[in-house]
Structure 1
Amino acid sequence: MIFGRRGRERFLDALTGFEAAVREQDTDGAERAFQQVYRGFRKATDEETGQAGPRLAALLPQVPPGPDGMIAVMTGACVEKGADASRCAPYVLDGLAEALTAAGEFCARWAASGGGDLPDPESDAPDDAVLARVGPRAAAAWWTLPQWEMASVAMLNHASVRTGAGAERRTRLLESLRIVQEATGHDFKCLWYALLVLDEEPLVALHRPTGTGYALRMSGIGDTFQLHTLLADVLVGGGHLPGRAPSPQEAAVCRTAPGQVPTTGSFNLVAPDGTWLWNEGTPCDIPVVDGVRLLVLDPPPYERGWPAGRFFPHMTGDLVLERVLGEEETRRLLAGCSPARRVNGTAPSG
């Protein structure tokens, strides 16, 4: 017990020393103190990391580009151990926005100075030739972007952060990320999907074979695989539709339970214009019609299986049924929907 207390004291003492060195712009002192913080983190309790997360996050605006990525990652690790994500997220998302802007500049300068294969951001630090081509700030942003992705996803796992960030800010982050992805061909899929997650989002599902409709509300669903399983759980498992219902375990891992279990699809998900909506996408792919996302459920054209679970294992997901639509309302909505289109020569049944 004494060793544990001393270990935690060293961790907090090191963090205090790191904060002082950063404020004093003591580069060497900050590096030494951070190494002590890093070593102490592994033995720190959840209570200690709960205190450390907001303190580390608050340092991010003062830490130079490059090292700031590691501080962001450690902040994310503190949040995963229970630190208050709402207190940490504003600093991390501000840093992400700056890193994305500078990474976009990196791509533009790289192309303007001769192009060629982009450096691997997972490799060693940029050499003098790279720094001469793009500048130190842009290079630091490119090399730390994977770290900012990790830290930001840790924040965005929390509904309070997603709703607190606001749709406008997330749209700006997505646009900056799109520019980087299109310029590089690199897929920051986890960050992209995390920024797209919807909360308390209305969804209307129309089951074409039975002519029935359902008003639902979805939150924290990372991809359409997860949504598909939850739709089957709520509508088939709830006794509203015929077909195969997921097992309780299949549904649970799509909400809060850990792990993955095999499942089989119950529907073909179709947009109102007849376009298939693939499970590999996200609920944001579902078009908005008259202010509400509108989805058509057709019979599956063939059997499709996948591991039921959550794209973001630390993100709680849910789908709830709010009401069954009346016959007239459902008939009107279905009348505006096109039949499912053929895909690769395959036409869905029903």
Structure 2
Amino acid sequence: MIFKEKSKGPEPGGVLSELERLEQAVEARDGGRTEQAFGAVLDGLQRAPGDELAVAGPRLAALIPGFPPTGPRALLATAAGYCVESGADPVACAEPILAGVRQDLDDALEFVRRWRAGGDAGEELPEADGKIVDDALRARLGGDPYEATRLALAWCTVGEWQPPALAVLCRSAELRGRYGAELLPACRELAALERHDLKCLEYALAVLDDEPLVVLHRPTGRGFEMRIGGIGDNFQLHTLLAHVLVGGGHVPGTAPTAESVRLATDPEPAQGRSDALAVGTFELLAPDGGRIWNEGLPDDIPVVEGRRLLVLDEPLYERSWNADRFFPHLPGTAELVRVLPEEEAGVWFGRTSVTAV
């Protein structure tokens, strides 16, 4: 949750009036009025009822492009994301929020390019701390001072876009499909520099929805066509594969508990952390025989002949993990479309380096 608890204060009512004042101030490009009205809106949101938050969310998101890039746009996006968490339409709020994410990812990567171009080879990147933004830094980045400030601030604040981005992405497969492939490469490039914790954003952008998956079970030589969606990591995928294939009587093994399946699939958001455990049933393998790690993503599964292709083998050792899903608001699905005929399963095995027993 973006705001952990509502602030105490007078009875709800009035945030939409404060929001109207903010909209007028932004339209007039009046910095002083904008700052004052924005503060009043932030205060009012935490006391507003759900029906007002549902109205406020899209209006707050629509203001994001009008805020200067060197201003508190991420905080404005966070306010809109809070409204989404409280019932505002995620699709109606998404475009300005995710456009802001796109801009800050690109600007942060441009900051890296200019930082490296202006210094010694091998010099470490600075911490993402607003204290680094000074005249010396602007000079090092070169170009227009305002642009240099914008790039440096993006480097420092890009992580602040993560909560509002998750608020919309975790509530809409449509949005994940529309923006995931576009934003994921830049997110991964920036995360690889290990100066920002963007794991949750990366995972949300990589979620597969309505995705065909061919699963081969090496010990039995059987094959299955499945369809998966909304799965946050391979721990959750592992549980759902075991539920469908072992629980459905298609392959031998230990089926997951009803509680671990519920935690993976329940449409209602998870409430806090549970003590439930999931037990490893398989070894997940890529077609070349390499490991597909539980800590990874379904997106890690290679595509072969237009289908993601996963091989299941006997587990190398006993393992278990907490059964809670990575994204509390995102229920996973795994559907068995059909059992492959023996000949078709053999064709798929022939596309791997793994030999059926």
Aligned residue for 2:3? none
d(CA) in 1 for partners of 2:224, 2:73: 47
d(CA) in 2 for partners of 1:227, 1:85: 25
CA offsets, 1:136-184, max 9 Å, x none? 110221222011122212211023443551xxx5333222223323445
d(CA) in 2 for partners of 1:234, 1:164: 25
Identity among equivalent positions (%) equals 46
CA offsets, 1:83-116, max 9 Å, x none? 1001111111111111111111111222223365
CA offsets, 1:58-102, max 9 Å, x none? 111111123111011111111111110011111111111111111
CA offsets, 1:235-264, max 9 Å, x none? 111222211111111011111252442111
CA offsets, 1:282-316, max 9 Å, x none? 00111111111111110101011111121111112
Structure 2 matches for 1:134-173, cutoff 5 A? 134=141, 135-163=148-176, 165=178, 169-173=179-183
Aligned residue for 1:346? none
> Which of 259, 279, 302 is matched with 1:287 structurally?
302
Structure 2 matches for 1:178-257, cutoff 5 A? 178-183=188-193, 185-256=195-266
Say if 2:313 is the partner of 1:308. Answer: no
d(CA) in 2 for partners of 1:159, 1:271: 29
d(CA) in 1 for partners of 2:219, 2:202: 34
d(CA) in 1 for partners of 2:196, 2:160: 15
> Which of 10, 14, 39 is matched with 1:10 structurally?
14
Structure 2 matches for 1:310-329, cutoff 5 A? 310-329=325-344
> Which of 273, 277, 285 is matched with 2:292 structurally?
277
> Which of 78, 98, 105 is matched with 1:93 structurally?
98
d(CA) in 1 for partners of 2:139, 2:18: 36
Give the match's secondary structure for 1:274. Answer: coil
d(CA) in 1 for partners of 2:304, 2:290: 15
Structure 2 matches for 1:59-78, cutoff 5 A? 59-65=63-69, 66-78=71-83
d(CA) in 1 for partners of 2:176, 2:188: 21
Post-superposition offset of 1:49? 1.0
Structure 2 residue identity aligned to 1:60 = I
Q: How many residues align?
A: 336
Structure 2 residue identity aligned to 1:157 = C
Structure 2 residue identity aligned to 1:55 = R
Rate the CA distance shift 1:302–1:183 in 2: closer, same or farther, 3 A.
closer
d(CA) in 2 for partners of 1:154, 1:9: 24
Say if 2:126 is the partner of 1:111. Answer: no
Structure 1 residue identity aligned to 2:292 = L
Larger deviation, residues 222-231 vs 322-331: 322-331
Give the match's secondary structure for 1:253. Answer: helix
d(CA) in 1 for partners of 2:116, 2:132: 20
Larger deviation, residues 8-17 vs 279-288: 8-17
Say if 2:174 is the partner of 1:174. Answer: no
Give the match's secondary structure for 2:288. Answer: coil
d(CA) in 2 for partners of 1:158, 1:275: 33
Aligned residue for 2:39? 35
Structure 2 residue identity aligned to 1:126 = V
Cα RMSD of the aligned pairs, angstroms, is 2.3
Say if 2:121 is the partner of 1:121. Answer: no
Q: Is the 8 A contact 1:219 1:317 kept in 2?
A: yes
Q: Is the 8 A contact 2:176 2:205 kept in 1?
A: no
> Normalised by the size of structure 2, how large is the TM-score?
0.87
Say if 2:35 is the partner of 1:25. Answer: no
Q: Is the 8 A contact 2:128 2:157 kept in 1?
A: yes
Structure 1 residue identity aligned to 2:104 = A
Larger deviation, residues 195-204 vs 128-137: 128-137
In structure 1, list runs of 5 or more residues that go unmatched: 341-349
Structure 1 residue identity aligned to 2:314 = P
